[in-house]
Structure 1
Amino acid sequence: MINLKDIHSLTEFQRNAKQYVKQIKETQQPLVLTVNGKAEVVVQDAIAYQEILKRLEYVESVLAIRQGITEFESGEGKPARTALEELRKNYDISR
């Protein structure tokens, strides 16, 4: 979550960039930067950002699996052996 106390102007961030980068690394919390009083940019540690991407990829995988299960249960799918055999035939893949 974004700490509402960590909202700063872009100008302030530029003046004190080293201090803010140190803070971001220590707390693993993002900063919101404003331009003309409006939130415009989020600055975040690369490791924390990578963790978010990893979690998002996991959630997307779970959703895709759930969708596949639902489709199969409703009769839209086909057994894996059948699907693989069709792929082999369509793309001339040998066993």
Structure 2
Amino acid sequence: MFKSTDIHTVTEFSRKPAEHIKRLADSKRPEILTVNGKAAVVIQDAESYERMAELAEYAESIQTIRKALSEESRSLDDFKKEFEGKLGIER
């Protein structure tokens, strides 16, 4: 997912933030910023982040729907009878 060109030090970023922001906007790829040679943070442009967040939300929705479809269900009439019975409603 990440290329070696996507990895930079926090010091590099702090010295030339405009260059990084332009590169992020142009490439639409996230960058990893390191501290003492270890990954510390991931940064990306706002548009790409928003798209990623939308895709994550969509995936969660699909997962919820799949789970609901796999669970046992009952008919509306059965639910209605049970609900009316609990409330003492007679028809």
Shared fold per TM-score greater than 0.5 = yes
Alignment gaps of 5+ in structure 1: 91-95
SS for the counterpart of 2:5 is: coil
- Note the C-alpha offset of 1:18: 0.4
- Note the C-alpha offset of 1:3: 2.1
Q: Which residue of 2 aligns with 1:71?
A: 71
- Note the C-alpha offset of 1:54: 0.4
Q: Which residue of 2 aligns with 1:55?
A: 55
Amino acid at match of 1:12: E
SS for the counterpart of 1:5 is: helix
Amino acid at match of 1:27: S
Supply the distance in 2 between the matched residues of 1:26 and 1:60 (Cα, whole angstroms). Answer: 29
SS for the counterpart of 1:8 is: strand
* TM-score of the pair, normalised by structure 2: 0.80
CA RMSD of aligned residues (A): 2.2
Alignment gaps of 5+ in structure 2: none
Aligned residues: 83
* TM-score of the pair, normalised by structure 1: 0.76
> Which residues of 2 match residues 26-65 of structure 1 at below 5 A?
26-65=26-65
SS for the counterpart of 1:48 is: helix
Amino acid at match of 1:65: I
- Note the C-alpha offset of 1:80: 5.2
Larger Rg over CA atoms: 2
Amino acid at match of 2:38: K
